[in-house]
Structure 1
């Protein structure tokens, strides 16, 4: 596990950074602005001009907690990431897997991130909350916090490992596999489905077409156009939805 070469603070925000953040009405709401002032034993009115409040607050001394409150509002929520699966085949002992997970969990926590392990029989889940900088973002959005869940599911031939498809999770997964192989007395095999040997977009498209055509019991239909829209509900539509919801609740008891 590589240790972080930065942190916990990337920078000290200037008065201009704070002012520019607080005047963003769409992201920093009135309650957040009031909280920042209340932490300084100051009560502000909703009728007070926002730019006036932002200008006054930006001239004050700011600490880590001020930055964290503002960053939580300005920061961009991470999107749901794609997942990938690796199959391990061999005589894998659940206690060895748990021991490897515990060792890595301690390393992750010592590096500054947070991790914990949950267990259900011989199945394990490593939950990690980590922060990485993205200097392409604005000042209060540079530190991006993400969650990664790496799941070990017991199979007849070994374990199936499911994890997010990103560099951080891949490095963690590969380190876990390497450590498990070291602790396992017999050799283990690692199976990964990849299209690395098909760099051509046409070849990859043909691969998926053949995969779809090879599904038994299913028929294909061509779609020329797809429209996605959100219709505006009328009062009658809302009444029907409320009635359907009410009927379902009564039916389920």
Structure 2
């Protein structure tokens, strides 16, 4: 199986590190011209330098309309959109105020809504396109310690399904991707105190976290960003032309359902 994205332009949001950077790297290796996005110019520049000549970057905060408008002005057209930008903040439901709910909704949901409105019509006009929304296994396995996050990720799955039906017959596919616990920089930071306390390697600390907090995991460890990126690159390719409206799991088997 050869994935060739030569001649395609791919925009990956929240892609200066973590899963987003892994996706950008995978798309670039498949031949796509990749646009990296992050909030700060310094981090965008560093990511572009790592990716090489197949990449360029746009610094913009997509958690607000102004940042979205700046991105679209800089990148008016794209063949592949990966709405990866997302935030999470563990907190008890009764301690989470409206501002926190709204921030998660704006970043995790509305950023994808705005990207869809901006780019899907152009894809339809071209007769080909890919929109991928990064959700989470938390969309179905809503974590009690982050109910606000789980609700936003459930919305991403519903958004992708609805948009797929809206784009029926256009040659444009829309899917959501559901990673499980993944050893990104954000998760490493979350586990740093435990790593420092135990002195164990971060992958062992992450595996212990998965086995404690996601005991239904079949792989019994955190996934790598590359493992998540591999699925996204496939779904972004012409080879996935019959897959649309799907919630594609790369969760290590955490979701205990058929």
TM-score range, shorter chain: under 0.3
TM-score, length of structure 1 as denominator length: 0.24
Q: Which has the higher helix share?
A: 2
* Greater Cα radius of gyration, structure 1 or 2: 1
TM-score, length of structure 2 as denominator length: 0.23
